[in-house]
Amino acid sequence: MGDTLFGKIIRREIPADIVYEDDDVLAFRDINPQAPVHVLFIPKNPVATLNDLAPDDAVLVGKLVLAASAWAKREGFADNGYRCVMNCNRDGGQTVYHIHLHLLAGRALHWPPG
Ligand code: AMP
C-alpha cells in the first residue's frame, strides 16, 4: 500500500501529539478533535482499510482495542464512558488510508452518529 501521513507520524517526519506508544501501536491526538478527548490509535504496520485485514491481523486489531481501553482507564474517563470508531472507505467517512481507531470521550456522544 502507499504511504500516508500516519506513516510519516510513525517515522516522526511530521509532528503529532503522541500520547501512547508500544511495539505495535501508536496513539496521538486528532488534529481536528470532535470531542474534548479525541485520540487515534494506529498499528505501526499499516493496513489501508478494514477490508484489507487478514485473519492473521486479529491480534493486531485486538491490540488496538486493548491499547485504547487501557489508555481510557489510565486517563480516568473509562467509567464515564467513551466511543471507539473505525471508519471504512467513502461512505464510512475514511479519509486516511491507514486503519485507525478513533477514541472519543469527554462529553455525552449522540447516537446514531451522523
Ligand atoms: P478518518 O476520517 O476516519 O480517516 O480519520 C482521519 C482522522 O485523521 C481525522 O479525524 C483527521 O482529523 C485526522 N488527522 C488528519 N491529519 C492529522 C494529523 N496530521 N495529525 C493528527 N490527526 C490528523
Residue-wise pLDDT for 29-46, tens only, equals 999 999 999 999 999 999
Arithmetic mean of pLDDT, 37-65: 97
Select from 9, 31, 50 the residue to mutate for testing ligand 1; criterion: most ligand atoms less than 8 Å from CB: 31
Arithmetic mean of pLDDT, 91-109: 98
pLDDT surpassing 60 at residue 1:
no
Ordered by start, the domain boundaries in the chain are 5-105
pLDDT surpassing 80 at residue 54:
yes
Closest Cα to atom 17, ligand 1: which residue? 31
- Does the C-beta of 16 come closer than 6 Å to ligand 1? yes
Contacts by 88-91, CB closer than 8 A, 24 or more apart? 88/49, 88/50, 88/51, 89/49, 89/51
- Does the C-beta of 5 come closer than 6 Å to ligand 1? yes
Task: Please give the number of the atom of ligand 1 that sits closest to the Cα of 94.
Answer: 4
C-alpha cell of residue 99: 486503519
User: What is the domain class of 5-105 according to CATH?
Assistant: alpha beta
Q: What percent of the chain has pLDDT over 90?
A: 96
Check residue 114 and give its pLDDT. 81
Q: How confident is the model at residue 2 (pLDDT cuts 50, 70, 90)?
A: low
Helical segments of the chain, H only: 5-10, 58-75, 89-92
Task: Please give the number of the atom of ligand 1 that sits closest to the Cα of 96.
Answer: 4
pLDDT in tens, 78-94: 999 999 999 999 999 99
Average pLDDT of the chain is: 97
- Does the C-beta of 93 come closer than 6 Å to ligand 1? yes
For the question of whether the overall pTM of this predicted structure is more than 0.85, the answer is yes
Closest Cα to atom 12, ligand 1: which residue? 32
8 A C-beta contact, residue 28 and residue 92: no
